[in-house]
Structure 1
């Protein structure tokens, strides 16, 4: 079985809007009330997938969830046409596009039964995300239905917040080999909440059958959370032997690195000093919410948003690192401005799964032709603009539902209607 990294990107949904629902996410809070561009957002996401294909990477996709979330609103005793504005905004969120929060994934070489395990995230911290998991689970069960190779788990009980792969890292010599899994949790972030609970991390590790002596639980620094790093992937990212992190990412950095180094001596730790790039610049630019990948040519590549190039301290650090022959050998820049304005960079948009593509439902795998067809549907069906004040317009609600149906029909995924 040829195990390889597959990045599953969430297609930006037709209800993409800036309602400012995510407390602690500075970009989402800053742009609350702005007019969004769902069509441009989805096309930017598809172009990012094309860029990954051009690098020789395997690429997957997840589809937007039903919006408005009629069943969730019904549980609250209302409907889109009658719901108060704040409640309707929670039911129209397109945040499921950030597939890094879809689930936590442990590849087969790490698990007791040698299957790839996926646990859907409960996302209980924020109302607009707490109702995503049933639709996410439905996609995971379709995409990874081969029970010989995959085990898909329901969510951890909501007493313990779990936000998925955005708080999970893995170090290994190669993706298809056994590795060390790192779960990052928060305790407090001052004015902002810590979203990942340590008990959720431990539960996922048990469900996945991970070896305790190859699993670490690490606290995110309160300073990072307070600065706006609502998930660990805003200040740290790992790929194969490389851990790329801000100096202030972890509560007890020295202890963590010592433990990790003893379990994985091949570790290549790349740290960005706070004196060169402060947390504010790191978070604004989403330097670490980048995809760190290994294309077939073997050159470790960092896929960053345009905002990283536009932040002088960040871009200067990257150029120095490249010139110094560091672990990261190439930087690719992508335009995901619509996602960035709502607080999600390139890494937010994808869930990394190590698997044999032949074992995945092909409807969830992307190639150039499929992306072309999806781009045509987006250009024809997605709203061009959405003002948050217009979310209850009947014509908009109908357009959003019609657009998603057209996408599902094109992919042959009518069972997700």
Structure 2
């Protein structure tokens, strides 16, 4: 039986605020602040527990080994000798944002009836460009069953940022869907990270029906406002597209194409005169998990920052008072992730599959989350000062924490992958 499973990235022990991501306004605002890796990881675990209580299926992806000494070896420098910007890039914990791990096309959409996953190359940002080998190793282990096809990344120079720029609408999880690949071209002073060529390559690799595949341009205004990924201004679930009025460059064409391919589709659009792009980016209203709980209620899981934003919360509560398809809102605390530019949607990769075909070590229940929380509480640094990234004692603790997690989850074969 096909179910949707949210695979959340566990926040790694090197979580810090180095401000490495131009265009991610929250991340650059937090540059130099003291981070709290232990609190960040425990907030992520609490979010997963909340999802389990809603009746959702939950999985995990593991933090990557940090610092990435193999990447530095390719640059012919050791961590201790590297300049500060390379140290920061090698220590980044940004793999926690699992929405950038891969693009996923469920079996009902593909010509061979398998679920396809293509690992994102993330080449636009140096600190993320070296994530893909470890991500590929994890996905090939978690999805080793013949029901899946796991593809290596699209080659350079075509930037691919994964599911954060991908939407799927379908009447049911086991029904054929319409897949939207959102790409960027220009965004004012900020880079457009998703290339159309990369999106088209992923669609071909996944053997999607061209007649049910749309390539949609993200609006320049959204990128310039800080929507560095499409999931900052749009999210989809089931037959519902929830989007800002200025999410797409050719808005009317996108809506018309979607309704032509899927007449039952519903577009819940937030008007710009009620919620500006700046409001959307600062509140992360759209960087939410839009899910269907077991009783059929479509639920929006938003960060606390959404509730704290007066205009956004007023619009959202007004929407709930109507008779639209989204009937419930849940609020979660992921403030440490938010301060680095990632909300509830950034932290998870959605996979539609039969849970029985997935390596069970990557699926979690309350007991398994207890094991993860115990490792975090024991081994994760409580705080990382901005000037501590070269501290040998800190590096030893980070590396020891990662090893402890692999052992705690019986995934030691990922060591040194």
Distance 1:216 1:367 in 2: 36
What SS does the aligned partner of 1:406 have?
A: helix
What are the ranges of 5 or more consecutive residues in structure 1 without an aligned counterpart?
Answer: none
Report the equivalent of 2:280.
282
Report the equivalent of 2:196.
198
**Once superposed, which parts of structure 1, at least 4 consecutive aligned residues long, lie more than 3 Å away?**
none
Deviation at 1:81?
1.3
Report the equivalent of 2:134.
135
Report the equivalent of 2:174.
176
Matched, 1:388 2:386: yes
Distance 2:411 2:81 in 1: 30
Report the equivalent of 1:73.
72
Report the equivalent of 2:248.
250
After TM superposition, list the pairs within 5 Å mapping 1:67-146 onto structure 2. 67-146=66-145
Deviation at 1:327?
1.3
What SS does the aligned partner of 1:244 have?
A: strand
User: Per-residue displacement from partner, 1:333-357 (whole Å, max 9, x unpaired)?
Assistant: 0000000000000000000000000
Report the equivalent of 1:263.
261
Distance 1:233 1:352 in 2: 13
Report the equivalent of 1:38.
37
What SS does the aligned partner of 1:191 have?
A: coil
User: Per-residue displacement from partner, 1:301-341 (whole Å, max 9, x unpaired)?
Assistant: 00000000000011001100111122110000000000000
Report the equivalent of 1:334.
332
Report the equivalent of 2:405.
407
Deviation at 1:14?
0.1
Report the equivalent of 2:21.
22
Report the equivalent of 2:52.
53
Deviation at 1:389?
1.0
User: Per-residue displacement from partner, 1:78-100 (whole Å, max 9, x unpaired)?
Assistant: 11111111100000000000000
What SS does the aligned partner of 2:326 have?
A: coil
What SS does the aligned partner of 1:329 have?
A: strand
Distance 1:5 1:93 in 2: 29
Deviation at 1:158?
1.4
What are the ranges of 5 or more consecutive residues in structure 2 without an aligned counterpart?
Answer: none
User: Per-residue displacement from partner, 1:341-393 (whole Å, max 9, x unpaired)?
Assistant: 00000000000000000000000001000001110110110000001210010
Deviation at 1:409?
0.2
Distance 2:53 2:156 in 1: 40
What TM-score results when the alignment is normalised by the length of structure 2?
0.99
Report the equivalent of 1:163.
161
Report the equivalent of 2:319.
321
Report the equivalent of 1:376.
374
Distance 2:258 2:2 in 1: 24
Distance 1:155 1:270 in 2: 33
What TM-score results when the alignment is normalised by the length of structure 1?
0.99
Report the equivalent of 2:226.
228
Distance 1:158 1:394 in 2: 34
What SS does the aligned partner of 1:79 have?
A: coil
Deviation at 1:145?
0.3
Deviation at 1:175?
1.1
Deviation at 1:232?
0.3
Report the equivalent of 1:239.
237
Distance 1:366 1:315 in 2: 32
Deviation at 1:284?
0.4
What SS does the aligned partner of 2:275 have?
A: coil
Count of residues in correspondence between the two structures: 415
What SS does the aligned partner of 1:331 have?
A: strand
What SS does the aligned partner of 2:22 have?
A: coil
Distance 1:229 1:238 in 2: 16
Deviation at 1:261?
0.6
What SS does the aligned partner of 1:358 have?
A: helix
Report the equivalent of 1:64.
63
User: Per-residue displacement from partner, 1:169-195 (whole Å, max 9, x unpaired)?
Assistant: 001001111100000000000100100
